[in-house]
Amino acid sequence: MSAHIFRLAAFASGFLTIAVFVMMLVLGWPLFTSGQFFAILTGEWRPSNELFGIFPMLVGSALVSVLALCFSLPVSLGTAFVVATLAPRPLRRAVQLMVRFMAGIPTVIYGFVAIFLLVPFMREQLTGGSGLNILTASLVLALLIAPTMIVFFVSGLQNVEERYRLAVDALGGRPVQKLLYLQLPQAWPEITAGIIMGLGRAMGDTLISLMLAGNSVAAPQAAVDSGRTLTAHIALVIAADFDGMQFKSIFACGLILYVFTAIVVMLLRLIIGRSMCQV
């Protein structure tokens, strides 16, 4: 009896996950039947001319998340080195706690502080304009995905048998040598997984790009341009419109994000066979 309840709960949860995909597919169905799906993926967004392409948002999302990854990767890797090996033991724990705390800070707070601290700086010193652009958003996003990546990197680096580490110590290797020539070479699966996971989180985040990227609908040409991501597009269109093709196009955004997530999950399974939930 109870086993049935447990099974029901698990199957229902799994079913709901599929149902989300189906629901978006059904509500966005006119996009597919009218043969416009391809046009929407590659076209530009000009509702006044009946053009509802989400290509600018695709570019925006890709640009923001790849830039965020580029900023975050070196810093995350460096911090992971410190946590895994370079720091003395008590300090390691302190840095690890700092990383956990950073992961716990609500996204909206990162965005809020950035608006009043980073945006004026960008406006006056670096990019000019309003200060709301892809570069600003990706800098903050880099901070947001750093804890995720650090956790993966550290677990990869620490994945070495104790006796190998002791062997390096016994041979007189310094911590940095142990790190570079023993721990790093075998950590590549976890490091790749961390990078994919970081990219996934950067693509999926809404608030940072909504608050900081400027949300203009033209396809961005450069990092200092204002841009709009798929996630921010969903939030902005829902606030404006409930009907018509403009509204339908957000389901295309939702489907793209869903498929992207599924790909990320599959890649993670292939590379490390581990779950996303662990961060």
Partner 1 sequence: MRRWFERGIVFWSWGSAVLLLAILLSLLSYLVYRGGGVVGIGLVFGDVPPFDALLLRRQVFSGLFPAIAGTFALVLLAVGLAVPVGLAAGIFMAEYAEGQIKWLLTVLFDVLAGLPSIVVGLAGFSLTLILHQMFPGRLGPCLLISALAIGFLILPYVIHSTQMALESVPPALRRTALALGATRLENIRQVLLPTRLPDLLGGVILAIGRAAEDTAVIMLTGVVASAGLPRSLFEQFEALPFYIYYISSQYADPRELQMGFGAAILLLVVCALLLVIAFIIQQTLSRRLSRF
Residues 138 to 157 in contact with partner 1, rule: CB under 8 A: 143, 146
Instruction: Find the angle CA(54)-CA(70)-CA(40) to the nearest 5 degrees.
Output: 10
Considering beta carbons, is residue 55 or 258 the nearer one to partner 1?
Answer: 258
Task: Answer yes or no: are the C-beta atoms of 148 and 198 closer than 8 Å.
Answer: yes
> Which spans in 82-215 are helix H?
89-104, 107-121, 134-157, 162-170, 175-178, 188-204, 207-212
Applying CB under 8 A, does 126 fall inside the site for partner 1?
A: no
Task: Answer yes or no: are the C-beta atoms of 147 and 202 closer than 8 Å.
Answer: no
Contacting partner 1 within 196-255 (CB under 8 A): 200, 203-207, 211, 231, 234-235, 238, 250-251, 254
Contacting partner 1 within 59-118 (CB under 8 A): 74-79, 81-83, 86-87, 95, 98-102, 104-113, 115-117
In whole angstroms, how close is the CB of 221 to partner 1 at the nearest point?
25
Contacting partner 1 within 3-62 (CB under 8 A): 3, 5-14, 16-18, 20, 23-24, 27
- Using CA of residue 57, residue 204, residue 273, residue 147, what is the dihedral sign? positive
The helix/strand/coil state of 52 is strand
In whole angstroms, how close is the CB of 49 to partner 1 at the nearest point?
25
Task: Determine the Cα–Cα distance for residues 277 and 279; give it in Å rounded to an integer.
Answer: 6
Residue span 248-267 as binding mask against partner 1, x where in contact by CB under 8 A, dash where not: --xx--x--xx--xx-xxx-
